[in-house]
Structure 1
Amino acid sequence: MATSSPRASDRDQKKGDGLLNRAVKVLRVVSTYPNGIGLSELARLAEVPKASCFRIISTLEDEGILFTDEDTKRTRISIGALSIVGGLLTEGGTLRAIRDILSDLSEASGETTGFDMLQGSDVVVLMQNAGPSIIGQTLKQTPRIQPPWLTSTGKSLLSYRDPDEVRALLLPHYPQDNLNQLDLFIESLEPARVHGYAWLYGALERDAASVAAPVLIDEVPKYALWIGGPTYRITPENARQLGQLAIDAATKVARLLTALREVQGLNDPISASSIGIGF
């Protein structure tokens, strides 16, 4: 009786694990597009070869998990399978997914990352993920409140607002003996909006720098993702590269929150109170 060798079994196991991993990636992306997504974009976002992505879609369609519209060629989760993958489109599932995105962003950037929102005239740090270079250091507690003019997330979140509105929001809280710096902050908002990310150097702490990108829902910045670290690692030379990493991660979060909003029917799918924060 013929038996497979241990080496062949290991190869088969690794091949199966690879296919399963790709299928999970495809499902994660499709689940954030309630109206469906095209094959090319799905393959790109899932980071799966197009041919493999097509085979995964075909298999999952045969199993009744995915459905592809013949007219639009867009693939979405089938009605019958929502109970299987619908856990992602709950508040708890989405928060876990955001933490995963922060973890991936820390790995890609080598720095600590976080997820913030603007509440009134304050930036609220909702989540953060320690970067690989923070060994031996202690992360600041979350949640925490920070002045928006001292953070790249504040700059990013305010960059879509009218300058006069920003001035009226911040003026009552800004140090009155340094108002010329408020003017400079407001002038820096337009470049941040144009570039898609904000960069701040030595503001909150003299030796710290950060970049941040807004999470746009219907073109409105509801939240922001940031990358933070020491000024000798986050520099003018690599700020653009880190900014693009933040933009890509913020886009992923925006898709998740848009899908969650459509399921829940809420304007703000994630709030400070939903993460157990009260002010």
Structure 2
Amino acid sequence: MTTGTIREIDSASVDADGMLSRTMRILGCFTADEPELSASRLGALTGLSSSTLHRILAQMLDLGLLSRTPGRRYAVGVRLWELGELSPLALRLRETALPYMTRLYEATGENVHLAVLDAPAPERATALYVGRLTGRGSIPTLSRMGGRQPLHTTGVGKALLAMQSGDWIDRFLAQPLERETMYSITEPDAIRMEIDRARARGYATTREEMTLGNVSVAAPVGSIAGLPPAALGVVTRIDGADTRRLGALVTQTAADLGRALRAL
């Protein structure tokens, strides 16, 4: 369950009395920057009255959807995490992918990412990170489990773009693309060239397009019934990065993972 999806739910379509939609509004307030929130902060973010908010918070605590933290603050509860682990992204994709991600990490010693396309519409599509392996010597990255990153500035994002149809990409590129660093590619024609290049060689790359000093190499896992499009990637330092070697490793590992998923 992700905050972007929560915020996009139409409250009028969820339930007649609005209880579920209000609960989702509360959950949607929690982010990586604010994983713990006070009642006053939740009130300011949701616009709910104090009496309504405290009534719902008490029920969410009883159900395990929220937990209390020091300083009279709230955090996402264990029950919500437990339910999230029942998602096919956890049970099927991530659990199957872990041995392959481990193999890729052991071969490179670098950050290994598994991401899926979260696309309520092409205009709002992002790469959702569902798996991550890293080590003490790995270069720092902005990614995190359950986090989102743009498609056009990340290796896994470009690999996911390479799996989409021409019409889908046209809609995606119709929106202005944000420049994360001075090296981010945001021009539609240049993005199309990146996609064509990724399709031709089987893997996508970025060079300092999301984080300065980083190179990423990623390959699509392929289409798997019952799962969103997925991609597997490695992020390493730009100095001395052998993208051809990494490309071969990532492409082979992604292909092996795709076969394992289809065999389930």
Q: Return the TM-score normalized by structure 2.
A: 0.55
CA contact (8 A) 1:111 1:133 kept: yes
Unaligned runs of 5+ in 1: 1-90, 261-279
Counterpart of 1:230? Answer: 237
**Residue by residue, what CA displacement relative to the aligned partner does 1:93-130 show, whole Å, maximum 9, x if unpaired?**
76333112111101101211011111111011111101
Percent of pairs identical after alignment? 26
Quick one: distance in 2 between partners of 1:138 and 1:205?
7
> In structure 2, what is the equivalent of residue 190 of structure 1?
196
* 1:219-242 deviation digits (Å, cap 9, x = unpaired): 9982100000121142xxx11110
What RMSD, in angstroms, separates the aligned Cα atoms of the two structures? Answer: 3.1
Pick from 155, 159, 164: which aligns with 2:162? 159
1:126 and 2:133 matched: no
Contact kept in structure 1, 2:163 and 2:220, CA below 8 Å: no
Deviations 1:56-101 (A, max 9, x none): xxxxxxxxxxxxxxxxxxxxxxxxxxxxxxxxxxx73763331121
Number of corresponding residues? 167
1:258 to 245, 259, 262: 262
Alignment correspondent of 1:202? 208
Question: Do the aligned residues in 2 keep the contact of 1:115 with 1:126 (CA within 8 Å)?
Answer: yes
**8 Å CA contact 1:115, 1:127 repeated in 2:** yes
TM-score, structure 1 normalization: 0.53
For the Cα contact (< 8 Å) 1:110–1:131, is it kept in 2? yes
User: Is residue 249 of structure 2 the alignment partner of residue 245 of structure 1?
Assistant: yes
User: Which residue does 2:106 correspond to in 1?
Assistant: 107
- 2:138 and 2:231 map into 1 onto residues whose CA distance is 22
Q: Choose between structure 1 and 2: higher helix proportion.
A: 1
The alignment partner of 1:142 has SS state of coil
Partner of residue 216, structure 1? 222
Larger Rg: 1
Gapped regions of structure 2 (runs ≥ 5): 1-89, 120-124
SS of alignment partner, residue 144 of structure 2: coil
Which residue of structure 2 aligns with residue 49 of structure 1?
none
Cα separation, 1, equivalents of 2:115 and 2:130: 5
* Counterpart contact for 1:208–1:229, Cα < 8 Å: yes
User: Are 1:150 and 2:150 counterparts?
Assistant: no
Show CA shifts across 1:243-279 (max 9, x none).
Answer: 110011111210121122xxxxxxxxxxxxxxxxxxx
- Aligned counterpart, 1:269: none
Shift of 1:218: 6.9
| CA 217–251 in structure 1, closer or farther in 2 if over 3 Å, else same | same
1:189 to 1:212, Cα distance in 2 relative to 1, 3 A? same
Question: Match of 2:97, as an amino acid?
Answer: I
